[in-house]
Amino acid sequence: MVEHQDNDGNRTPRVSRRGVFGVGAAALAAAGVGVGLTACGDSDEVDPATEPTDPSDHIADANRQAAATLPFADTTDFADADRGWIASLEPGVVTDASGKVVWDTDSYGFLRDSCPLSVHPSLWRQSQLTVKQGLYEIAPGFYQIRGVDLSNMTLVEGNTGVVVIDPLISTETAAAGLALYRAHRGNRPVTGLIYSHAHVDHFGGALGVTTVEEVAAGRCPVLAPSGFLEHAIAENIYAGTAMARRAAYMYGAALPRGPKGQVGAGLGQTTSTGTTTLIEPTVDITRSGQEEIVDGVRIVFQLTPGTEAPSEMNFYFPDRRILCMAENATHTLHNILTLRGALVRDPHVWSRYLTESINRYGRNADLVFSSHHWPVRGTERIVEFLAVQRDLYAYLNDQTLRLLNQGHVGSEIAEMLQLPPAITKEWSTRGYYGSVSHNVKAIYQRYMGWFDGNPAHLWEHPPVESAKRHVDAMGGAKEVLKKAQKAYDAGDYRWVAQLVNYVIFADPDNTKAKHLQASAFEQLAYGAENATWRNFYLSGAHELRNGPFGTPTKANAQGMLAALTVDQAFDAISLFVNGPKAWDVRATTDWRFTDADNHTERVELRNGALIHYPRTPDDGLPAPDATLTLTRATFARTMLAGGSVPDAIVKGDIKIDGNLAALQKLNGLFDRPDPNFAIVTP
């Protein structure tokens, strides 16, 4: 049997049965939803080749049942998503300066076809919605660029130009979106830039819509919630390499597109892979109710820290009765803890801020839009949309806490918790991006940490040593694979994945184990309604069959590193110190930054730790071993982005006073992050 996970958390054993798709097919076709399940082929054996397997009978049956029971006749979202369309990018491809493709909507043309058995029909429907691409007028003077990156870019026309909200991930996609807008609305200058929150898909394309010079001259103020820069750096620089590598799995940007490959990411299609930048905010939003006028556009802000991002804000246009919900209310269950990694979010706070949004603004709004998906119109619909989202996060939080206080651990609660029918009947609450399962585990983690209280789990062996012992205890790799194949034939793919993982970590060169694991991952992907689960499973399968694909998006991009404050720059470099190598090294240096009012940072390497703090005039500190004079950009290029310090010294970009040996002590003490680290193999 196969366990098929629905969005409401129910896991129902499905008995495999052959047969053609019947119930509901005519209704779906009549509704024009484009969901008519077609087989990709049948396979009775695990295919050891590099090509992905076909959906098994177990998965095909589960997907047929989902298609027959979900409300596909409701096409309201399609009408909402199509409303206001003006034009699309033709072709739907964006390239960088070298001609490399960084975005390709056209690669998803297969989504026009009926849903194959290798994709959950609900996820297929969501991808048909998120793939819609182009310029949309959502209200007079309000426009959105959708389907040109993971997120939306919104443009609000002011007195003299246009205010841009959330300029996508890459400068190339942002520039393409702005060009599409200008082709139909005229060459209006960008007179304001708003970051709704501190995730890269909402600020990374900043230099695609404006310039540092325009911002510095005051012609384009940049507004962001309090704490934006700190959290943007913490998420995208400090743990940037690991997050980017896991994001490659989560968004599937490197995967082939198609019915057996990547079909979307639930929140959008995938991430663009262009140039990421960051312009520092010039206006901080520090309190709810704060009002700002940008190019004649009056905006009232609501701070929502700790919701979808540690630094986030909604905002309301009172003169137009239009509400922007940032990423706090979209057409999916969102993440309490994203699979790429992040700080655990607070669903209780999230739900309370949504209540505040409803009472402050929702009851006086005619349109609500977010930085993903499509708008909702009409006050009554808006209030209900926000209220159901609010109830969703409140229920997950409260019921997880109820059950953990009864002694259940996170993995148990994830199997037990069921959402109310009134919530599960809404398309907007389904788990395309977040899921009930991993959100419940995240809430448990938030309150209880990684340890479930069982002493047996307090000091387990790490993965490789644990795997060797498990395989030995089960009679060796051959016997484990025999048991795993039996589980695969029965449709118990979760158990296959667990069993074969032991073999792979005990014997990384076992080709048979890799192929069986890849096949199990593919079946789990084909049955997943959640896009990020599908992408994780398919990414693991792809790397097991074909080898690592690395990280499609560049972590620690130069455009972001250049925006670091001096304090943040040294915080970042301190994470590169190889502690054991530096145990016995002592060095004291001063770093003077000419582009930061000659700010001088004292840096001490001692006991394997890099300690830094600002110097002040007449602070009485002992003289350093050496003083280095440079710019922040030079520091980012040489110390953080893999440049050469000696080359910079020769070129005169870095000037040294004092003992050069102090720098030579540091040679070989800094590790570089590995953007290609293994995930599904040891």
Q: How confident is the model at residue 319 (pLDDT cuts 50, 70, 90)?
A: very high
Contact at 8 Å (CB) between 366 and 145?
A: no
CA dist 650 and 655 (Å) reads 9
pLDDT value at 77 more than 80: yes
Residue 39, pLDDT score: 47
Residue 90, pLDDT score: 96
Average pLDDT over residues 128-154: 98
Q: How confident is the model at residue 554 (pLDDT cuts 50, 70, 90)?
A: low
Strands 599-606 vs 609-614: parallel, antiparallel or unpaired: antiparallel
Residue 444 is which amino acid?
Y
- Whole-angstrom CA distances from 417 to 122, 336, 413 are 21, 15, 6
Task: State phi, psi for 152 to the nearest 5 degrees.
Answer: -100, 150
pLDDT value at 557 more than 80: no
Residue 410 is which amino acid?
G
Average pLDDT over residues 139-143: 98
Residue 656, pLDDT score: 93
pLDDT value at 629 more than 80: yes
From edge to edge, which strands make up the β-sheet containing 322-324?
Answer: 291-294, 297-303, 313-317, 322-324, 367-369, 376-377
CA dist 54 and 74 (Å) reads 30
Q: What is the pLDDT of residues 196-219, one digit of tens each?
A: 999 999 999 999 999 999 999 999
Q: What is the pLDDT of residues 461-491, one digit of tens each?
A: 999 999 999 999 999 999 999 999 999 999 9
Lowest mean pLDDT: which of 227-231, 267-271, 550-554? 550-554
Q: Which residue has the tokens 């739900």?
A: 351
Q: What is the pLDDT of residues 578-623, one digit of tens each?
A: 999 999 999 999 999 999 889 999 999 999 999 999 999 899 999 9
165: its two tokens = 């909200």
CA 323 to chain centroid: 24
Count of alpha carbons within 13 angstroms of residue 238, beta-carbon side: 15
Average pLDDT over residues 267-293: 97
Q: Count CB atoms within 10 A of the CB of residue 8.
A: 17
Residue 326, pLDDT score: 98
Q: How confident is the model at residue 41 (pLDDT cuts 50, 70, 90)?
A: very low
467: its two tokens = 């795997």
Residue 81, pLDDT score: 98
pLDDT value at 2 more than 70: no
pLDDT value at 32 more than 90: no
Q: How confident is the model at residue 418 (pLDDT cuts 50, 70, 90)?
A: very high
Contact at 8 Å (CB) between 154 and 317?
A: no
Count of alpha carbons within 13 angstroms of residue 82, beta-carbon side: 6
Per-chain mean pLDDT for the chain: 91
Q: Which residue has the higher pLDDT, 564 or 165?
A: 165
Contact at 8 Å (CB) between 156 and 165?
A: yes
Q: How confident is the model at residue 23 (pLDDT cuts 50, 70, 90)?
A: very low
Q: How confident is the model at residue 195 (pLDDT cuts 50, 70, 90)?
A: very high
CA dist 127 and 586 (Å) reads 56
Taking every pair of Cα atoms in the chain, the longest distance, rounded to a whole number of angstroms, is 84
Contact at 8 Å (CB) between 108 and 263?
A: yes
Average pLDDT over residues 558-573: 82
Lowest mean pLDDT: which of 227-241, 306-320, 376-390, 426-440? 227-241
- Whole-angstrom CA distances from 652 to 263, 595, 611, 630, 656 are 50, 15, 26, 9, 10
Read off the pTM: 0.91
Contact at 8 Å (CB) between 255 and 521?
A: no
pLDDT value at 6 more than 80: no
Contact at 8 Å (CB) between 546 and 50?
A: yes
Residue 37, pLDDT score: 54
